[in-house]
């Protein structure tokens, strides 16, 4: 299998970098003429899922969907192929870490994520979501994209300070992705919106609730809804009273408290209406009265964080 990827498609797999869901992701080299070499990521559908039409269709649907999502805050897909009846896709390689690892580095140092970087990260995710949610097909119809799996593992942070959303494997989109909303729960329990937990039909506001959970987790160091079981976690998402976040962390000021309370409203009609609106509020918080965080500053912070942990 792996040799076929090299001989047929000029991809040389170097190492496994992630495993989960229905795919395994490898760091790889794409080889070309005159010594050309480009580092890419190869996502290969798991062998046990490759024979199941539902999973094959979702894998292909993700590739077809993301191929046209060209945005700096979304991981790009370059190529969809098949080898020995298993689909694979070649994707942008992000050298760095995922958000779960970023949080763990802070736990290892025994320090919280600075407020400005927590808000900055979520604002960059919202930039990607605002673009995806508003994407049209060639006929001008809204694709109705909802990611439905915005989690720390699906947010990548590059060493250059870029923040990128990945894994649209369970996203829903017009005519592209298999979708049984109303019958199954799509997403990871700890980052579901209330409507996902209730198996309701979703729109982009579901992704915003997930962003709210992540923002609160970055600020508090833990997911305030997560419990010992999936069922209890879902019950917390539906019913657990929201804390006063500023009482749990003193440098959460009143404007940020208001943002958190609004984005985590259970009735979606009371949340921010769109990812663009939420993005605008976050960026106003970051930049309204001073020169705020940038990718370059974030890269310096990441370098300092990783260096102090390892050193």
- How many other C-beta atoms can be found within 10 angstroms of the C-beta atom of residue 85? 11
What distance separates the 2 farthest-apart alpha carbons in the chain? 62
Spatial neighbors of 247 by CB under 8 A, at least 6 apart, are none
- How many other C-beta atoms can be found within 10 angstroms of the C-beta atom of residue 303? 12
Which listed residue (57, 149, 175, 207) is catalytic?
A: 149
DSSP 288: S
Answer yes or no: are the C-beta atoms of 116 and 292 closer than 8 Å.
Answer: yes
CA dihedral angle for residue 144, residue 56, residue 40, residue 37, rounded to 10 degrees = -130
Answer yes or no: are the C-beta atoms of 157 and 302 closer than 8 Å.
Answer: yes
Spatial neighbors of 22 by CB under 8 A, at least 6 apart, are 45, 46, 49, 55, 58, 59, 169
Distance CA 117, CA 256 (A): 13
Check if 289 is active-site: no
Answer yes or no: are the C-beta atoms of 83 and 13 closer than 8 Å.
Answer: no
Cα 287 to Cα 55, 256, 278, 283, 298: the distances in Å are 43, 13, 14, 6, 15
Answer yes or no: are the C-beta atoms of 39 and 26 closer than 8 Å.
Answer: no
3-state secondary structure of 25: strand
Catalytic residues: 149
């Amino acid at each position: 299998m792996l040799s076929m990827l090299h001989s047929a498609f000029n991809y040389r797999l170097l190492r496994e970098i992630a495993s989960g869901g229905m795919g395994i992701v490898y760091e790889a080299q794409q080889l070309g003429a005159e010594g050309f070499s480009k580092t890419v990521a190869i996502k290969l559908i798991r062998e046990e899922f490759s024979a199941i039409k539902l999973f094959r269709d979702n894998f292909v649907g993700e590739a077809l969907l993301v191929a046209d999502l060209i945005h700096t805050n979304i991981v790009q897909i370059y190529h969809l192929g098949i080898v020995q009846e298993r689909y694979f896709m070649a994707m942008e390689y992000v050298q760095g870490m995922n958000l779960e690892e970023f949080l763990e580095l802070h736990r290892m140092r025994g320090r919280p994520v600075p407020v400005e970087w927590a808000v900055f990260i979520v604002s960059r995710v919202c930039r990607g979501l605002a673009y995806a949610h508003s994407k049209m097909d060639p006929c001008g119809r809204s694709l109705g994209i909802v990611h439905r799996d915005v989690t720390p593992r699906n947010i990548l942070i590059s060493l250059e300070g870029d923040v990128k959303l990945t894994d649209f494997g369970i996203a829903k989109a017009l005519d592209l992705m298999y979708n049984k909303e109303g019958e199954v729960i799509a997403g990871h329990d700890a980052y579901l919106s209330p409507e996902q937990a209730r198996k309701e039909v979703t729109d982009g506001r579901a992704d915003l609730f997930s962003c709210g959970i992540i923002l609160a987790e970055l600020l508090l160091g833990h997911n305030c809804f997560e419990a010992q079981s999936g069922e209890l976690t879902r019950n917390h998402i539906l019913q657990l009273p929201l804390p006063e976040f500023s009482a749990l962390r003193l440098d959460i000021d009143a404007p940020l408290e208001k943002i958190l309370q609004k984005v985590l409203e259970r009735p979606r009609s009371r949340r921010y209406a769109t990812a663009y609106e939420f993005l605008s509020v976050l960026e106003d918080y970051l930049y309204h009265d001073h020169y705020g965080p940038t990718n370059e500053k974030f890269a310096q912070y990441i370098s300092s964080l990783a260096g102090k942990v390892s050193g």
